Amino acid sequence: MKTFFYLVAVFLIAATSVNAQTKKDGTLDMRYNVNKQSQVNTYSVPTSTYTVPNTTNTSVQYQSGYTKSNGTVVQPYNKTAPNSTNTDNFSTTPNTNPYTGQTGTRAQDYTPAASNYGKGQTIQTGPNGGQYYINGNGNKTYVPKR
């Protein structure tokens, strides 16, 4: 009988320790790795076959989902493989992302529209050719090549 009460006590302690990984409002506390791994991913990869237009980079990479340091969950997505220009990226005008149907909004490199990015800032060129300026927070903000 003593063993039975001991097992019940151990079970109750184990069951209540799980609650230590939740916030006061009952939501998961994302500071615990167990909660990050148990986060259910509701994103589904499209099953249709898409034809990438000739104007975009045909080399596509799958980017796995991840959680930012501030707790924001980023869903997985497809992106064009890096190369020396942005003219063939899904995010560049007038290209369309075949996976989402969204039209790009970023200016193409070496166009008059690219000159508007970072206007009034000192544009620097990085070791790999990327152009950027230092924003008010002290971080690099990349701009289309001029």
Residue 120 three-state SS: coil
CA distance 98 to 103: 9
Average pLDDT over residues 115-122: 77
Name the strand (E) or helix (H) holding 87: none
Which tens digit of pLDDT belongs to each residue from 54-92?
Answer: 456 678 888 899 999 999 999 998 888 887 777 888 888
- Percent of the chain clearing pLDDT 90 (strictly above): 8
Region for 76 from its dihedrals, namely left if φ exceeds 0, alpha if ψ lies in -120 to 50, beta otherwise: beta
Match 């006590």 to its residue by tokens: 9
